[in-house]
Every structure is written in C-alpha cells, then in structure tokens.
Amino acid sequence: MLTQNISLKAGIARAFKAPNLYQLNPNYVYYTRGTAAPSTIRALATAAVVGNPDLNPEIAINKEIINYNDDNGWNAGITYFHNDHKDRIASGIRAGGTLRPGPVFPLVQCARSRGAGP
C-alpha cells in the first residue's frame, strides 16, 4: 500500500502446457473451416490439420502491475500486463500437402509470441 487510498500490486506467473496426444500424432487429421485454417483458406475449402511429433511444450511467462485507488467512495484501477509465450503450438500457414477435400496444414511451433496491454 503506497498510501491509505492507493495500492500497488504486482504478479508474475509461469505456465507450461505439453502437447496432447492428438497434436503429437502425425496420423491424426481433423478437418476445419474454422480458425485453425489460415484466413485465405477458410472461405474457399475445408482444410485438414495434422499432428506433428516434433512439437515442444508451450511455456509462457505472464507479468502484471496493478494500481488501485479508493478515495471518498470512488474506486478506480489500472492494470498493465505483459504475456510472453515460447514455442506456442498453432496450425501452419503453408499447406503441407492435400487430402480430400482440401489442403493440409501441419501443426507448428511459433518461435515467440508477445502481448502487452494497458
């Protein structure tokens, strides 16, 4: 607590998510017209997403700082956060082949993904 009315809080967390058996199995295929397919393909055809045995676990580090003010019945707060992901699992953006009825997108690792916000 900085003053009687102003509080400052901070937090940090580390997250770990191992790929599931479907994501690791190259023989597992699912078909989609949804968000797993790249936006250029979604409206055109059904796409297939296949597993990848070379996937690593996803790791994320999340940090936040919170400033909270409580004065004369008025409450206000502001939060800043920063999320840093490593080896995030996502469907690839390049087709790796074709299956009926459309292109195949293998699961891939995103090297690093960051996000921050007020």
pLDDT at 26: 85
Q: Of 13-17, 25-29, 73-77, 96-100, give the lowest mean pLDDT range.
A: 96-100
Strand-pair category, 102-117 with 74-91: antiparallel
Q: What value does the mean pLDDT of the chain take?
A: 76
Torsion of CA 32, 36, 41, 45, to 10 degrees: 0
